[in-house]
Amino acid sequence: MIGIYRNSYKNVPVLTVVESAKQEEPLPVFIYFHGFTSAKEHNLPQAFLLAQKGYRVILPDSAYHGERDEDLPKQELSFKFWDVVYQNLKELQDIKDELDRQGLIKDRRIGVGGTSMGGITTSAAMTMYSWIQASAVMMGSPKPVVFAKKLIQDVEKTGIVLPLGQDDLDELYSSLEGIDLSKQMDKLYGRPLFFWHGDADPVVPFEHSYDFYNEAIKQYKNPENIRFLREVGRDHKVSRFAVLEMVNWLELVL
């Protein structure tokens, strides 16, 4: 029987989805981050399917989301987007450390994935953490600098006055360079990486991940370790087909 357990790691509220009889045993682990304005519960379908394959799946709530919601106006929350991503990156290490402390990771088999903002977090994490064994990016961008500039342009088109000056924006872009996987492909280390993206996505440009993939595959001695799944006509919503393909692929590589 698959169980869903509510707990926390270093004050980060999470759902742990795992076979009940094995919840105290070391297992391969997959940590999955939700998207912007979403919450951990929204990713239970993929967590359940992975748990059926023998994984311990950890679904965290990001800052200002889910149990950590502070009821901020959407515009105010939108300006905290990159703060949330950076907090995710810090808390990812915290969660991993706690799992290690409890002896719950089997043979260092630990992967990371996410949807949209969670996919952006996942790509960024690969520049920071060599302990990540495999990753899945679902309609996320591995190009945070380019994506940040797009977000700013989109806001400016609406006529909203930015609470950031040019110096602030330049500082943001400079900071994001440090977690921009497209600028640090040497940090892929040939690790298994899965992309899914709908080519009609109006939120996160399809080309960000597709163009990255076409460059990144040249870095792989074993090109089977990197896969890009394009879904024609799909917008900014992960399909059941995408979830099933992600789960099947992870079973092979993690």
Contacts of 107 (CB under 8 A, 6+ apart): 26, 28
Supply the DSSP string of 89-115, one letter for each residue.
HHHHHHHHHHHHHTT-EEEEEEEEEEE
- Residues 214-244 have pLDDT tens digits of 999 999 999 999 999 999 999 999 999 999 9
Residue 24 confidence (pLDDT) above 80 = yes
SS3 call for 135: strand
SS3 call for 10: coil
pTM: 0.96
Residue 56 confidence (pLDDT) above 80 = yes
Would you say how long the chain is, in residues? 254
Predicted local confidence at residue 166, as pLDDT? 83
Contacts of 171 (CB under 8 A, 6+ apart): none
Query: Which H or E run includes 152?
Result: helix 144-158
Neighbours of 107 (CB within 10 A): 9
Percentage with pLDDT > 90 across the chain:
89
Instruction: Find where tokens 């380019």 sit.
Output: 146
Mind listing the domains of the chain with CATH numbers?
2-253 (3.40.50.1820)
Contact 53, 247 (CB under 8 A): yes
- Average pLDDT in the 102-109 region? 98
Q: Rounded distance, CA 84 to CA 116, Å? A: 13
